[in-house]
Structure 1
């Protein structure tokens, strides 16, 4: 939640808003509402970070946040969570779905049927699934069918260590299949994949302001990370379309000048300046990341939905992948920067010429 105040002033509220997470998300949403925050505002209950969904309890019971009611309706953790969010003035309420393990179709269908029974288009069905759902054709069909049971908005979230979409080659392509087969589906709690999702039919999406909010670690598993000690903030390198620690960028450009960044935060300064975890470095790095992603969002949304938008995304990814060897050669080091597997897979996906603007889902707008 500390990043909220670092990034809120850099949002393009014409195209997006905020998704708040954490123990005090509801209270922060209330505070923003009182302050007159008018952009889309959501609260993610994050039940999937600590609880696994089951057929009997797809929406696990969590803390009631101090609310107490005689009405037995509020013994239902789903109804309680929706009530708490709405009391904070959110744009829409998100279901407190537990983590849906790979191939657990019983839990997935139980959750979908309960949300369908609500028949409430103001509820976003959170679908936090293990990325293993994107491995085989049969599981992709099951996931697509379950999502299509719910007519309102659905928010797909992917679980797995490190970069879930980089786990196996077919993951990105199967995600694209789902996006093109399900109406009003989003990709949330993710990384740069949100832009690929918007390009391929998602109706909205969200990206994490920190590395821990760019994927889901399955409940009960310790989060895996690189062996590098966290001694600088993660910084988005625009030309490489990748997050790198500021200290790694500084090391890479130790012998040459860092290229200037012309976002509204950096104003021509180099990205090699983010070399510590001091508050000002973290604040500026977070603001820089939001500014860069905001520029990509504007570029994508300026294109017609369908083939044109997909082509723009493909061009961005292809240019980034092609720039890695050029940059590395200029630094005269042994591959200081390496493209992430997910970026290479987005770059390899050929835009679908059959997906025209007339077939694209309506309302492709990040929230």
Structure 2
């Protein structure tokens, strides 16, 4: 038995842009997604974070088998923040020049109109029928240097002549290794008239793989107007600081990067005995059991987010449902604090500097903390965090600074 409501699109969603943006008309958002940090979450884990979504600054990106149905349900319940559905075909299908938007089975619709034999059109229709804020293209995984598949996808989206569609570009991080590849990626993304969302593929921490990856991401953000960064980790704050239109942060580690189709997922050898917890001062995720063990002989670090309210970070010590829920909610609240801190600075140099200072302070805190607890297994900063901390923003060249430079010569 099929759900007859699925064939009737819901009314367009009326979601306002973040309310704290500048009143300057030149800085006002051009879409309800602009400046927002969305939470990328599977339907099965939505219960952990649903009540902590910031409707003024955030929103949801649902993924998983029931994402369409859950989006319809949330809309009927009056969910009042941006809501997207990620088709995430890139997790199972590789894009090719012939089929950048792979055909899948079990779409759940049957139409005589040949238009719906097109997997791109079908996916966009199903998302819109669920009442999403904007529809995301069902792009396959774009392998490193496969410019033919990338361009084929871009041309098909442009042929839609619909600037409301978000072009998903799930690319292997190998695209960020060489200058020529970065230039090709920038050129292809700039072909898209509407919004585009970069997603990075690779095992573990993709941006930690190449020394130049973070810098090249910053180059893309500076060169492609309207680009977003989705399904990522710490990098989303760096992206927003460097001009990304919006971003999405993965609620769990598997949603903070893309494992290339056909590859087994690589992970640390540690057994998951507790949920991953954001340690605010270190700007990193650590297992709750690791935090508890490290502070067993000393005072636990306290957190004052709306979930913790002054409780210690050493309490997330098991995979029981309530521990998982509180840890996930804590993580969302900490991310919201970072977002407010970064976006409170003026766009451009000041915002980039604010992000750089946060990363640098976190990196410098590691040796101080490790010395205070004197553990055999110290806390270690992610490679990516150290690279963001080392990327000092360029001072903008103004007429005044140029004149001052001339006078001092």
For the aligned residues, what is the CA RMSD? 1.0
CA offsets 1:240-292 (integer angstroms, 9 cap, x no match): 00000101111111111111100000011111110100000000000000000
The structural deviation recorded for 1:235 is 0.3
Change (3 A) 1:253 1:291: same
Match of 1:58 in 2: 100
**91, 100, 105: which one aligns with 2:147:** 105
CA contact (8 A) 1:306 1:355 kept: no
Q: Distance in 1 between matches of 2:378 and 2:107?
A: 47
Q: Which residue of 1 aligns with 2:175?
A: 133
Aligned to 2:127: 85
**Residues 26 and 88, structure 1, Cα contact 8 Å, conserved in 2:** yes
The C-alpha deviation readout for 1:122-177, integer Å capped at 9, x for no partner, is: 10000000000000000000000000000110000000000000001100000000
Question: Which of 160, 163, 174 is the equivalent residue of 1:121?
Answer: 163
Which protein has the larger Cα radius of gyration, Structure 1 or Structure 2?
Answer: 2
Matched, 1:302 2:350: no
Name whichever of 83-92 and 56-65 sits farther off. Answer: 56-65
How far is 1:334 from its partner? 3.3
1:226 corresponding residue in structure 2: 268
Cα deviation for residue 353 of structure 1 reads 2.1
Question: How many residue pairs were aligned?
Answer: 356
Quote the residue 1:145 is aligned against. Answer: 187
The normalised TM-score by structure 2 is 0.86
Secondary structure of 2:44's counterpart equals coil
1:2-17 matches, within 5 Å, as 2-17=44-59
Q: Paired residue for 2:117?
A: 75
Match of 1:311, SS? helix
Aligned position for 1:360: none
Identify the residue that residue 350 of structure 1 maps to in structure 2: 392
Distance in 1 between residues matched to 2:164 and 2:57, nearest whole Å: 19
Mark the runs of 5 or more structure 2 residues left unpaired by the alignment: 1-42, 399-409
Q: Which position in structure 1 is the counterpart of 2:283? A: 241
With 209-218 and 1-10 compared, the bigger mean Cα shift is at 1-10
Aligned to 1:365: none
Residue of structure 1 equivalent to 2:376:
334
1:27 alignment partner in structure 2: 69
- For 1:261, the equivalent position in structure 2 comes to 303
5+ long unaligned stretches in structure 1 = 357-367
Q: What CA distance in whole angstroms lies between the structure 1 residues aligned with 2:273 and 2:114?
A: 50
Please state how far the C-alpha of 1:335 moved relative to its aligned partner.
4.8
- CA offset at residue 64 of structure 1? 4.1
1:182-221 aligned at under 5 Å gives the runs 182-221=224-263
Per-residue CA distance 1:91-120 (angstroms, 9 max, x = gap):
000000000000000000000111111111
State whether residues 49 and 218 of structure 1, in contact with CA within 8 Å, keep that contact through their aligned partners in structure 2: yes
1:282-317 C-alpha deviation (Å, 9 max, x unpaired): 000000000000011111111111011101100110
